[in-house]
Amino acid sequence: MSKKRVVSILFPNDDTIQYHAMPDTAWHDLGLDALCEKLTTKVNERGMISSVMRTMTDSPKVSQFRIDCFDDLLRFPEFRDRMIKLLDQVQFLNDYGSFKKDHDIKAGLWELLHRLSELDDYIKCLENIRDCLNDYDVHSDALLGLKDYITAVYDTSSFEELKKDIAALKADTSSLKSVTIGVNLNTNFEASSIGIVSVNNKEFRNSGILGNFADAIVAKEGIREGNDWNGSLRFHPVTNNALDFLPSSDNVALFAASLGQPLLGPAVAATLATSPEKDSTRYVTKYFDKDISHMLSHVTRKLEQVLSRYVSLSIGHITDLIPEFIFYIRWAEYLDTLKEKGYLFCKPDVLAEGSEHTRMIATGIYNLKLAALSEETPESIVPNSLSFTDEQSLFLLTGANRGGKTTITQAIGLLYALAQCGISVPGKGFTFAPVDCIYTHYPADEDKTMDLGRLGEECQRFKDLYTNATASSLLLLNETFSTTSFEEGYFIARDAVLALLDKNCRVIYNTHMHKLAYEIPELNKATSAGHGKAASLVVQSHNGERSFKVMVAPPEGKSYAEDIAKKYGVTYDMLTGKSGK
């Protein structure tokens, strides 16, 4: 999977970068679906945010590109507000303007003027976007690249010259205020033909040539000999059956009403049973466009000349930026609300390519889903620290039930998912080498195991996961192979761990199989040089009390069960009152 864009603030322009899709199971297991619902109520935005976050790559270039861009937007809330408003204007022009229409057909004056106005609006939007980028001290390659792109579009399109042409054309057309329309009548006083008499530089008033029609025909002196042309004006008949847009029973009075002109007195107007359902003024403009264009041919020709140079102009590349800005902005807005509550976030640091000995250093981190979806306060959440290195690429995580094993496993996955999209992460510090994908293996729902059985389903999913994973992947296993007897599960799990060490990917395996953790020295001896190494990670507990703190240490095994048994009074001594055997 690759991403090729002319201009983007999410995807650097590099054809060598390969992207992979995070599986649906991982998206759900990490709780990212629930987090997306916190970001926005709009379904289309949730879908877009999901698409971005699930498109993963282990390229440090992409992660750094996004991290720096998000940092710019996070530092300048007013900048992101201005940009989204400007891009909305461009989107409106793209959706409802004439940019997508076929311009091969000869356009009339009104359409040319409309296109000119749209182009003028587009130029102003580009100027405002360029000014907005210049008004803030942005430093990211993404936003600086956008500024260069906007400047290049502006310069190569000769918009400065076009602005002068637009100003001149507006001056030419600014005196166009009205059109005189002539209507010929038959013996029944019905409109037999309609034509344009003149294009004028003054608007008509209620008095004068378009005075009240009803009053004019009532007064005998209102009916004149001949007409007002005096031989000085030509009558331009309208073609293409211009009267077809009116109902066949409509008379001159109704046609006058369709023009939106007050030709009727109140009494006569009240006798009209119906009026055209369509926007008749728009249809009249359409029918007369050809004739007016002919009468103002010098203006029309100039408009055609100016617009012909920009007929291929595309604004799609600019509108493509809108969802990318929305992605960053929704996350920035949400993090701002969490910060106001006291939650700590930090800018991730990307390890350069070739940093082989250390692949992650996480300090004071916590689970974002826990902060977002629980009633925990910032003070009650326990931060943790963890590192992936050559000597501890696979952690076997053990500890008491409900001690926080799943929480810390999920937290690590969320750190990578956020950081690789550029988003600030929950914690004091996070330095990482990006992963090409995140894979999870959590217990399946009962209805998904009917055909193969729970153990068979687990084995099949693990095989698929292992096949797709690479040395650059992150695997999060939660009680994998625990649905059968301990001995059977241990046998399968031991081989699975050895295979994962051979692949040398980053793994957290949350398990109750303390025996497996005890055998870490033997497992490491069985791996070849240059392959991964396992380490024991435990959730600390004191006298049965859960601390939710993890540390790299030998597994405690029985001590967990003993502490819990003493806490709830279920040791042999406490139950029977006798001394232990």
The string of DSSP codes covering 53-75 is HHEE---HHHHHHHHHHHHHHHH
At 268 the pLDDT is 36
What amino acid is encoded at 332 in this protein?
Answer: A
* Least confident interval from 40-44, 47-51, 155-159, 192-196: 192-196
For residues 306 and 167, give the distance between their C-alpha atoms in angstroms, rounded to a whole number.
Answer: 12
pLDDT digits (tens, 9 = 90+) for 181-210: 777 778 877 777 766 667 677 776 654 444
Q: What is the pLDDT of residue 264?
A: 38
The percent of residues above 70 in pLDDT, for the chain, comes to 69
Between these two residues, 6 and 369, which has the higher pLDDT value?
369
Q: What is the reported pLDDT for 161?
A: 78
The answer to whether 194 and 242 have CB atoms below 8 angstroms apart is yes
Question: In angstroms, what CA-CA distances link 409 with 394, 398, 441, 499?
Answer: 12, 11, 11, 20
Contact in structure between 537 and 552 (CB atoms under 8 Å): yes
The answer to whether 192 and 186 are in contact (CB under 8 A) is yes
> Average pLDDT, stretch 283-306?
59
| CB contact at 8 A, 390 and 357 | yes
DSSP 97-125: SSTTS---SPP-HHHHHHHHHHHHHHHHH
Task: Round to whole Å and give the CA distance between 316 and 100.
Answer: 9
Q: Which pLDDT score, from 0 to 100, does residue 60 have? A: 95
Q: First-to-last CA distance in the chain?
A: 64
Cα–Cα distances (Å) from 329 to 183, 322, 522, in that order, read 58, 10, 49
Question: Helices in 355-452 by DSSP H: which ranges?
Answer: 368-373, 405-419
Q: In degrees to the nearest 10, what's the CA dihedral of 464, 470, 474, 478? A: 30
Q: pLDDT (tens digit, 9 = 90+) per residue, 335-357?
A: 999 999 999 999 999 997 666 67
Decide which of 73 and 221 is more confident: 73
Beta bridge partners of 475: 439, 507
Answer whether residue 212 shows pLDDT above 80.
no
CA–CA–CA angle 112, 117, 118 (5° rounding) = 95
Tell me what pLDDT residue 263 has.
Answer: 36
179 burial via Cβ count (<10 Å: 0-12, 13-18, 19+): middle
Q: What does CATH list as the number for 346-572?
A: 3.40.50.300
Nearest partner of 341 among 377, 310, 295, 386, judged by Cα: 377
Which among 309, 312, 404 has a CA at the least distance from the CA of 366? Answer: 404
Residue 41 confidence class, pLDDT cut points 50, 70, 90: very high
Residue 240 tokens, joined: 């293409």
Q: How far apart are CA 315 and CA 552, in angstroms?
A: 55
pLDDT at 175: 66
pLDDT in tens, 117-147: 778 888 888 899 999 999 999 999 999 999 9
Give the model's confidence band at 326: pLDDT under 50 very low, under 70 low, under 90 confident, else very high. very high
| Mean of per-residue pLDDT scores for the chain | 79
Lowest mean pLDDT among 131-140, 269-278, 304-313, 494-503: 269-278
DSSP state of 351: P
CB atoms within 10 A of CB 38: 15
Work out whether the CA dihedral 517, 518, 521, 525 comes out positive or negative.
negative
**Residue 392 DSSP label:** B
Is a pLDDT exceeding 80 seen at residue 490?
yes
Percent of the chain with pLDDT over 90: 44
CA–CA gap between residue 443 and residue 272 (Å, rounded): 74
- Do residues 126 and 119 touch, judged by C-beta distance below 8 A? no
Average pLDDT of 489-507? 93
CA pair distance 301, 293, nearest whole angstrom: 9
Confidence (pLDDT) at 393: 95
Helix then strand then coil, in percent of the chain rounded to 5, is 50, 15, 35
In terms of pLDDT, which residue wins out, 6 or 88?
A: 88
Q: 139 near 133, Cβ under 8 Å?
A: no
More confident of the two residues 111 and 57: 57
Domain-wise residue ranges, the chain: 62-173+312-325, 178-295, 346-572
Helix (H) or strand (E) holding 537: strand 534-542
The first and second tokens of residue 398, run together, are 């053990």
Confidence class of residue 578 from pLDDT cuts 50, 70 and 90?
A: confident
> What b/e string do you get for 261-288 counting C-beta neighbours within 10 Å, with b at 16 or more?
ebbbeeebeeeeeeebeeebeebbbebb
Q: Give the containing element (helix H, strand E) for 200.
A: strand 191-200
Residue 144's nearest CA partner among 133, 135, 152, 131 is 133
